[in-house]
Amino acid sequence: MRRDAQAVILLLVGGGMLRLAWTGDYLDYVKPYAFWLIVPAGILLVAVAAITGVQAWHDKHADDDDGHGHGDPKVAWLLLAPVVGMLLVAPDALGSYEAERTGTVVGAEEGRSNYPELPDDVDPVPLTLLDYAARAIFDEGRTLEGHRIQLRGFILYDGDEPQLARMVVSCCAADARPVKIGFDWASTSGGAAGDLEPDQWVEVVGEYSPRQGRDEINGELVPYIEVESITPIDAPDNEYQ
């Protein structure tokens, strides 16, 4: 591979990463803190590309081919694949398709020793799905009772039954695992269930329900929430948690 072609590939990889950071789309793939890794790395790659390009331009008459066959890495062509992925395909964040095939993750919170009381002056209290599930399962909902709870997530179907889910990411989207919460329709007619499309983001307001189910995939407990209202919302910037 010629050196100017190498410069173009470096520019595309570095520029692609900077573009992800600029548009905020990086949140579909990695954790928010990774911004501070992506930006310097992108800048450095663009700088290497610029230096390589300038050198190739200067040396144009002196040597046309870099490395005389040794070590000019043919494998570098493969770097075009993530560039195509980042810039052209731009896949969406993982959603219901993945969540329906992966067991709920709630067991990770098992070791937590204290569940602080929820504030009394906020109504409804916004909680993350993971926090709600941990309080419901490992603390038997002690801190949840007497509060109206607000949860945000997307819809997935476990058979015919709609559930609320959110993907939990520890490192990057490759290790995304869902936390799932079932709907208990005791206080409503349950008619809303038919309108929910998979992957639709919703805001659920409701109260703690002692009902629990099991995720068939890994046998973990799935807590329920007694639904008061379900409102469709736009997907948040960071769909992971």
Partner 1 sequence: MRGVRTFKRWRAREAVTRPPPSMPHNEGVSADLASSETPAPPAPKRRRGLSSLEALALILVFGLTARPGLTDLFAAPAAQAWAARFVAVCVQAFPFLVLGVALSAAIAAFVPADFFHRAVPKRTALAVPVAGVAGAVLPACECASVPVAGALVRRGVAPAAAFTFMLASPAINPIVVISTFVAFPGNPQMVAARVCASLLAAVTIGWLWARLGKTEWLRLPRHRHHDDGKWAAFWAAIRHDFLHAGGYLVIGAAIAASLNTLVPETWLAPIADDPVLGVLALAVLAVLVSICSESDAFVAASLTQFSPTAKLAFMVVGPFIDVKLAAMQAGTFGRGFAARFAPAAFIAAVAAAVLMGAVWL
Q: Report the site for partner 1 in 58-97 (rule: CB under 8 A).
A: 58-59, 61-65, 67-71, 73-82, 84-86, 88-89, 91-94, 97
- CA distance between the termini of the chain: 42
Amino acid code (one letter) for 116: P
171 binds partner 1 (CB under 8 A): yes
Q: Which of 19, 48, 203, 236 binds partner 1 (CB under 8 A)?
A: 48
Q: How far is CA 99 from CA 42, 77, 153, 154, 176, in A?
A: 31, 33, 12, 10, 9
Shortest distance, position 85 Cβ to partner 1, whole Å: 4
219 lines the binding site for partner 1 (CB under 8 A): yes
The encoded tokens of residue 189 equal 């007619």
Least CB distance to partner 1 at residue 65 (A): 5
In three state form, how does the secondary structure of 159-202 look? CCEEEEEEEECCCEHHHCEEEEEEEECCCCCCHHHHHCCCCCEE
CB of 93 vs partner 1, minimal distance in Å: 7
CA distance 178 to 121: 30
> Total binding residues for partner 1 by CB under 8 A?
81
Nearest distance from residue 36's CB to partner 1, in Å? 9
Q: Which stretch binds partner 1 (CB under 8 A): 49-57, 150-158, 186-194, 227-235?
A: 49-57
Residues between 91 and 130 that touch partner 1 (CB under 8 A): 91-94, 97-98, 101-103, 105, 107-108, 110-113
- Write down the least CB distance from residue 223 to partner 1, Å: 15
Are the CB atoms for 234 and 199 separated by under 8 Å?
Answer: no
Task: List the beta bridge partners of residue 150.
Answer: 126, 205
Distance in angstroms (rounded) separating the CA atoms of residues 239 and 189: 29
Query: Are 206 and 225 a contacting pair, CB within 8 Å?
Result: yes
Q: Which stretch binds partner 1 (CB under 8 A): 1-9, 151-159, 181-189, 202-210?
A: 1-9
In this structure, what DSSP letter does residue 116 have? P
Q: Which stretch binds partner 1 (CB under 8 A): 13-21, 131-139, 180-188, 189-197?
A: 13-21
Window 195-214: residues binding partner 1 (CB under 8 A): none
26 binds partner 1 per the rule CB under 8 A: yes
Taking each helix axis from N to C end, the angle separating 35-58 and 3-23, rounded to the nearest 10 degrees, works out to: 150
CB of 58 to partner 1, least distance (A): 5
Site for partner 1 contains 34 (CB under 8 A): yes
Regarding 52 and contact with partner 1 (CB under 8 A), the answer is: yes
